[in-house]
Structure 1
Amino acid sequence: MRMPATAALLASLALSACATGRPAPMVENGYAPGALALAAIEREDWATAERLLTSGRGAQADDPARLINLGRVYMATGRTGEALSTWRLALASDRHDDVETRDGRIVNTADLAREALAHHDRAVRSATR
């Protein structure tokens, strides 16, 4: 396992290089700069984040950290079905890594994908009832 790789998920799960009193610059540890679109996600620049995540720069298409972030972009832009599908792909990966979240937790990408699915899948089910 690579540790810590860095990814971003939900506002409460967004990942950063470290947690300090001041916001730290978003850094993709173990990836090419911008490969996980952390800075774009932090500024809620969803178009740039999606372009970075789908351009194939620095993170492989099936990389769970990239998929988790892409799901975050899809959810933020109202594409709930695509977000849930992307998080399911992240969960199904056989390449999980531990990552450090913005709040300092060390969490496996499989667990982050599960958290995103549990949170949003439940919300989608209740909204459709």
Structure 2
Amino acid sequence: MRKMALAGTIISAAVTAPAVAADRAAYQAIAAGDYATAEQALTTERRIFPRRPELMINLAAVYARTGRSTEAASLYRAAITAEDVEMAMPDGAVASSRAVAQRGLDRLGGVALAGR
């Protein structure tokens, strides 16, 4: 059974809305452009829930907006391989977390990760 999470779009990048109260501060910080606060809250939440795709997507959006495209791409890719959850978008549409993460990755414009 797939879980349902809420999602939002801010500044044309995929950002998930809070599904629980703990996510609310980070989401509101992103919406307000307070990326340092959002990053701190999301990093803390990811220590507790490292595989939640909505946290990965939000943190990736913060990284993208603060010029860290490589880190953003890495998190978007991780969200694509994480459990796929349905996300209710603000317009009432439902999207898979993998599709939301793929859109975020596509917006980065060809960021490649170096590998050995």
Higher helix share: 2
Write out the 4+ residue segments of structure 1 that deviate beyond 4 Å after TM superposition: none
Q: Tell me the C-alpha RMSD between the 2 structures.
A: 2.5
Partners of 1:7 and 1:36 lie apart in 2 by: 15
Partners of 1:110 and 1:87 lie apart in 2 by: 9
Going from structure 1 to structure 2, the CA distance change for 1:43 and 1:59 (only over 3 Å counts) comes to: farther
Please tell me whether residue 104 in structure 1 is matched to residue 92 in structure 2. Answer: yes
Larger radius of gyration: 1
Higher strand share: 2
- The 5 A counterparts of 1:1-129 are 1-3=2-4, 5-8=5-8, 10-12=10-12, 13-16=14-17, 28-29=18-19, 31-34=20-23, 37-56=26-45, 60-93=49-82, 95-122=83-110, 124=111
Task: State TM-score, norm by structure 1.
Answer: 0.72
AA aligned to 2:75 is: T
Partners of 1:10 and 1:54 lie apart in 2 by: 19
Going from structure 1 to structure 2, the CA distance change for 1:113 and 1:75 (only over 3 Å counts) comes to: same
Unaligned segments of structure 1, at least 5 residues: 17-27
Q: How many residues align?
A: 110
SS at match of 2:87: strand
Task: State TM-score, norm by structure 2.
Answer: 0.79
AA aligned to 1:52 is: A
AA aligned to 2:36 is: A
- Say if 1:36 and 1:69, in contact at 8 Å, map to a contact too: no
Q: CA deviation at 1:67?
A: 0.2
Going from structure 1 to structure 2, the CA distance change for 1:57 and 1:121 (only over 3 Å counts) comes to: closer
